[in-house]
Amino acid sequence: MSEHYELNDGTTLPKVGLGTYSLWGFEGAENMAAALQEGYRLLDSAVNYENEGAVGRAVRSSGVARDDIRIASKLPGRHHKKANVMRTIEESVLRTGLDYLDLYLIHWPNPNQGLYLEAWEGMIEARERGLVRSIGVSNFLPEHIDLLIAKTGVTPSINQVELHPYFSQADQRAFNESRGILTQAWTPIGKRTHLLEEPAIVAIARQLGRTPAQIVLRWHLQLGVLPIPKSAMPSRRTENLAIFDFELDEAQMQAIGALTRTDGRIFDADPATHEEF
C-alpha cells in the first residue's frame, strides 16, 4: 500500500499525520520537531490551537527538508468574512515563519452564522496567491460542501471530521468519496474514552501482536481515511506510525465497525448546529 494519499488537486499527503492540539510553546516545538525526526511528515495545526509559531519552529529545527513536510492550519469561525480570510491566512503563514502552508481548512461551517461560502471564496484566492497549496474543510456536512461546489466550482481537497470506531461516519465518508474528497479523522483513537480498552479491539490486538491504538489506526487506513493521532510521547508516536506492515481481515474490520453508535460523537458537536469561533 502506498504511504501517500493523492488529493483531487494533484498534491499528496502522508497516510498518517500528527495531531498537535495542546502541543505548544518551546516544549511543543521540541515535541513536534522530534515527531518529524521520527518520520511524521504532516502536522495538523489551527489558528485556534495557538501553536502555529511552535509548528514553524519545529519545521525549521527538525533538519527535515521543508518540501518533504506538510503543514496544515485552519480558519476560525470569527474570520469567515471574506475581507478577514486573506489577512488571517497571511498571519498564519507569518506566525510559522514559513513561506507557505500546505493545507488550510475552514475549521467549522458555523451554518447559523452563514458565512462559510464567503470564507471559501477567500480561501480560493489565498491558494491562487500561493499562500497555501491545498484548501479544504473540516466538520462540513454534505449540504455545506455541495453549496461550495455549486457556487464556486471548486471542490475541497479534504474534509476533516470526527471519526473513530464509536463514530465511523459511513454516510459522510461515502459522500466525501463521491465528490473526490479525502476524509481525515480527528480524535481517531478516541481521546478521553475507553476506546482502546474495548474488548473487541483488545482481542484483535492480541491476535495480531499489535497495540489497540495500532489496530484502530489501521482500521482508519483500510477505510481510506487519514488519521491524525496526537501524542506527546515518543514511544506512542512511533507506535502510531507503525501500521503499514499488517492487515485487518474483513471480520476484524467489521468487529471494529460494530462499535459505532448514532450518538457516538465524543464531543457532542453536531456541525449542523455547533458554532465555534
176 binds ligand NAP (CB under 6 A): no
Q: In the complex with ligand NAP, which residue's Cβ is closer, 129 or 234?
A: 234
55 binds ligand NAP (CB under 6 A): no
52 binds ligand NAP (CB under 6 A): no
Query: Exactly one of 139, 168, 169, 172 binds ligand NAP (CB under 6 A); which one?
Result: 139
169 binds ligand NAP (CB under 6 A): no
Q: In whole angstroms, what separates CA 61 from the centre of its chain?
A: 23
Q: What is the spatial distance between Cα 17 and Cα 36, in angstroms, rounded to a whole number?
A: 10
196 binds ligand NAP (CB under 6 A): yes
Query: Exactly one of 8, 21, 38, 179 binds ligand NAP (CB under 6 A); which one?
Result: 21
Q: In the complex with ligand NAP, which residue's Cβ is closer, 176 or 187?
A: 187
78 binds ligand NAP (CB under 6 A): no
189 binds ligand NAP (CB under 6 A): yes
Nearest CA among 238, 186, 213 for reference residue 34: 238
Size of the site for ligand NAP (CB under 6 A): 25
**Residue-by-residue DSSP string for 143-174:** HHHHHHHHHHS---SEEEEE-BTTB--HHHHH
Q: Could you tell me the three cell numbers for 23?
A: 502541543
Q: Could you tell me the three cell numbers for 139?
A: 466538520
Phi, psi values for residue 74, rounded to 5°: -140, 145
**Residue-by-residue DSSP string for 20-58:** -TT--HHHHHHHHHHHHHHT--EEE--GGGT-HHHHHHH
| Shortest Å, Cβ 225 to ligand NAP | 13
Q: In the complex with ligand NAP, which residue's Cβ is closer, 95 or 107?
A: 107
Query: Exactly one of 39, 239, 257, 265 binds ligand NAP (CB under 6 A); which one?
Result: 239
Alpha helices per DSSP H over the chain: 25-38, 52-62, 82-96, 116-128, 142-152, 170-178, 199-208, 212-222, 234-241, 250-257
187 binds ligand NAP (CB under 6 A): yes
102 binds ligand NAP (CB under 6 A): no
Q: Could you tell me the three cell numbers for 107?
A: 475549521
229 binds ligand NAP (CB under 6 A): yes
188 binds ligand NAP (CB under 6 A): yes
186 binds ligand NAP (CB under 6 A): yes
Nearest CA among 158, 213, 159, 157 for reference residue 188: 213
Q: Is 49 a catalytic residue?
A: yes
- Where do contacts with ligand NAP occur on this chain (CB under 6 A)? 19-21, 44, 107, 138-139, 160, 186-191, 196, 213, 228-233, 236, 239-240
Q: Which residues are catalytic?
A: 49
